């Protein structure tokens, strides 16, 4: 729907429309490691004056103002279940910085007169705003890896694509890609070879944006692209009310039969999704920040210690705030990339067990940091020989992956970051075993500290209880038995301690009851038996979702506890914002 033509500044009108929803504003600069979170303090719709308020304790805030201008992202979360994202990015907006308090600043901005941005060589960049969309597919490695995304802007020179943060590990700056496909709502499509020009995190819901330059365009491709850019410009002008002579959508953006089916399916999926609890959002935020930290290491050659330590401190805070809610939220990371899921779950359980042992142990922070960083070497190895960590790997790929500890160590050395002895101990020895069968150094027995013995048991249980390289997950009892039977590989005293704390039916497990019901375990008693569950499915009506909490006194309604099952086998999934 077009905006009324009451406002002299279309950019201000777009911003105003997004401010009606839950939103985040982030000010970013290429030279700065972290974006500044901002609030819209003032917005004048007639003259385009925008005042952003930011809080910053550092001494170098001026570095966010580059050549008299700032760049910022606006991300709005819309819909009755807050699961639809809409974004707007502005770069090089004229701005002046004013200090209003010891750590409070105002950025007084003059928004551009048009939503269309002039690029170098005279091209115009068209933002995809106010519901404009096109689907994108990036061929990162030919026939090996394809990354889906959404178009955020378009010009005859290139485009900006919004992709899932988890997919960004395979994309590098200056990387040439075999192809980028853009499909518009009416079914028309455009294909070209491309080159990655930049990549950065976007917003707070697990996304990144990738700048792609179109390469090797034929005359036919150039003509088609010019038409798509012209039609996109027309659509943006219609939606913002910038041209009151336009009174209908560009045909490109009228959904065809295929797009209507996709939109209908997405709407149905959104209706199924329940809102996350604050604890679940807190844990999910840690997974996003860990991936952002990796992106900075890969694309900017800096070690963002502040991001990683913030993840550690947040983990500890969440454990101490509500331990059982934390353990449940930790279990819901099933849809995240395996290296991220494994890192956050192992670090979370390590924090939990160390705090139970001694809440005042000074080594907790560095030990948990080591557990979080340990798997970062895996995505660092992604390349032509290992295009993805999601596939069932060949023997050479598995062997390559065994070098992830060395890859991380080399990267940390190149970034000139030195870890503490405790952190380094966890990073380097988390895959070692008491009998010398671990890697990378084959250490054994007394060479492995009490802390490492704890980490190895937590890691081993976690690996067995999740899908791994095509191998289905084991129920907790089977996982415990396999580790116990692994002769002298693991410390059995630590295994007993683990079982005593988490039980045979750990919080966050999906339990099957004899009445045909599936339920998440929310709480267990001192013997490790469930005493509170959240019923989510009746297998007699598999297409219907339930959400009903029961205490042990009401378990007779759903039958006897039979076993712990794999959520994926029953279509019980966790979804993220789109």
pLDDT tens by residue, the chain, 578 residues? 444 444 578 899 999 999 998 899 999 998 887 889 999 999 999 899 999 999 998 888 999 999 999 999 999 987 655 467 889 999 999 999 999 988 999 999 999 988 888 766 667 899 999 889 999 999 988 777 789 999 999 999 999 999 999 889 889 999 999 999 999 999 999 999 999 999 999 987 889 999 999 999 999 999 999 999 999 999 998 888 766 666 667 889 888 888 878 777 766 655 544 467 889 989 999 999 999 999 999 988 889 999 999 999 999 999 999 999 999 999 988 888 899 999 999 999 999 999 999 999 999 999 999 999 999 999 999 888 888 887 778 889 889 999 999 999 999 999 999 999 999 999 999 999 999 998 898 998 889 999 999 999 999 999 999 988 778 899 999 999 999 998 799 999 999 999 999 999 999 999 999 999 999 999 999 888 999 999 999 988 887 878 889 998 889 899 999 999 998 888 886 544 43
Return the pLDDT at 256. 83
Residue 455 token pair: 């980490």
Return the pLDDT at 336. 85
Angle at 291 between CA 158 and CA 284, to 5 degrees: 115
Residue 212 token pair: 């792609």
Return the pLDDT at 16. 93
State how far the Cα of 554 lies from the Cα of 400, in Å rounded to an integer. 51
Return the pLDDT at 307. 92
Return the pLDDT at 266. 67
Neighbouring residues of 97: CB distance < 8 A, sequence distance ≥ 6: 61, 62, 65, 105, 106, 107, 108
Return the pLDDT at 575. 46
Handedness of CA 447, 450, 453, 459 (dihedral sign): negative
Return the pLDDT at 82. 47
State how far the Cα of 203 lies from the Cα of 22, in Å rounded to an integer. 12
Smallest CA-to-CA distance from 334 within 501, 166, 140 is with: 166
3-state secondary structure at position 36: strand
Return the pLDDT at 88. 92
Burial class of residue 248 (count of CB atoms within 10 Å of its CB; 0-12, 13-18, 19+): exposed
Q: How many CB atoms lie within 10 A of CB 291?
A: 24
State how far the Cα of 527 lies from the Cα of 502, in Å rounded to an integer. 9
Q: Strands 36-43, 517-524: parallel, antiparallel or unpaired by DSSP? A: unpaired
Residue 511 token pair: 């339990």
Cβ proximity of 112 and 90 under 8 Å: yes
Handedness of CA 352, 355, 356, 361 (dihedral sign): positive
Alpha helices in 241-337 (DSSP H): 257-272, 278-299, 305-321, 323-331
Return the pLDDT at 267. 66
Return the pLDDT at 34. 81
């Amino acid at each position: 729907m077009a905006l009324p033509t009451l406002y002299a500044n279309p950019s201000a009108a777009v911003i105003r429309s997004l401010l009606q929803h839950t939103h985040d504003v982030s000010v970013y600069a290429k030279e700065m490691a972290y974006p500044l979170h901002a609030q819209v303090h003032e917005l004048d719709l007639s003259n385009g004056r925008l005042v952003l308020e930011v809080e910053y304790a550092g001494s170098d805030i001026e570095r966010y103002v580059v050549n008299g201008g700032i760049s910022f992202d606006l991300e709005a979360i819309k819909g009755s279940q807050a699961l639809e994202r809409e974004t707007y990015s502005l770069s090089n907006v004229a701005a002046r910085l004013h200090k209003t308090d010891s750590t409070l600043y105002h950025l007084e901005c003059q928004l551009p007169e048009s939503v269309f941005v002039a690029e170098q060589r005279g091209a115009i960049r068209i933002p995809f705003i106010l519901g404009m969309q096109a689907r994108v597919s990036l061929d990162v490695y030919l026939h090996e890896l394809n990354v889906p995304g959404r178009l955020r802007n378009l010009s005859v020179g290139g485009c900006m694509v919004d992709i899932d943060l988890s997919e960004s590990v395979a994309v590098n700056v200056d990387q040439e890609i075999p192809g980028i496909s853009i499909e518009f709502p009416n079914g028309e499509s455009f294909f070209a070879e491309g080159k990655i020009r930049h990549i950065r995190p976007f917003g707070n819901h697990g996304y990144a944006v990738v700048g792609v330059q179109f390469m090797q365009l034929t005359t036919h491709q150039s003509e088609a692209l010019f038409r798509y850019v012209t039609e996109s410009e027309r659509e943006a002008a219609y939606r913002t009310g910038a041209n009151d002579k336009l009174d209908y959508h560009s045909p490109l953006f009228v959904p065809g039969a295929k797009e209507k089916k996709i939109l209908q399916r997405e709407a149905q999926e959104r209706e199924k999704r329940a809102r996350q609890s604050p604890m679940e959002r807190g844990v999910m935020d840690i997974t996003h920040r860990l991936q952002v930290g990796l992106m900075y290491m890969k694309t900017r050659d800096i070690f963002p210690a502040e991001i990683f330590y913030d993840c550690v401190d947040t983990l500890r805070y969440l454990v101490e705030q509500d331990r059982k809610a934390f353990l449940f939220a930790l279990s819901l990371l099933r849809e995240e990339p395996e290296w991220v899921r494994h890192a956050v779950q192992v670090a979370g359980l390590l924090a939990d067990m160390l705090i139970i042992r001694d809440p005042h142990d000074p080594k907790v922070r560095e030990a948990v940091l080591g557990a979080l960083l340990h798997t970062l070497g895996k995505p660092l190895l992604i390349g032509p020989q290992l295009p993805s960590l999601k596939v069932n790997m060949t023997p050479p790929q598995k062997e390559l992956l065994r070098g992830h500890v060395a890859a991380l160590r080399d990267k940390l050395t190149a970034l000139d970051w030195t870890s503490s002895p405790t952190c380094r101990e966890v990073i380097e020895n988390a895959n070692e075993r008491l009998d010398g069968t671990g890697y990378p150094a084959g250490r054994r027995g007394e060479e492995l500290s009490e802390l490492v013995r704890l980490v190895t048991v937590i890691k081993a249980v976690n690996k067995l209880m999740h899908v791994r390289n095509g191998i289905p997950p084991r129920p907790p009892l089977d996982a415990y038995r396999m580790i116990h039977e692994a002769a002298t590989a693991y410390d059995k005293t630590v295994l007993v301690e683990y079982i005593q704390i988490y039980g045979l039916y750990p919080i966050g497990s999906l339990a099957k009851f004899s009445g045909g019901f599936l339920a998440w375990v929310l709480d267990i008693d001192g013997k490790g038996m469930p005493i509170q569950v959240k019923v989510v499915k009746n297998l007699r009506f598999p297409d219907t979702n339930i959400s009903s909490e029961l205490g042990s006194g009401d378990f007779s309604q759903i039958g006897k506890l039979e076993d712990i099952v794999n959520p994926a086998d029953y279509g019980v999934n966790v979804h993220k914002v789109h």
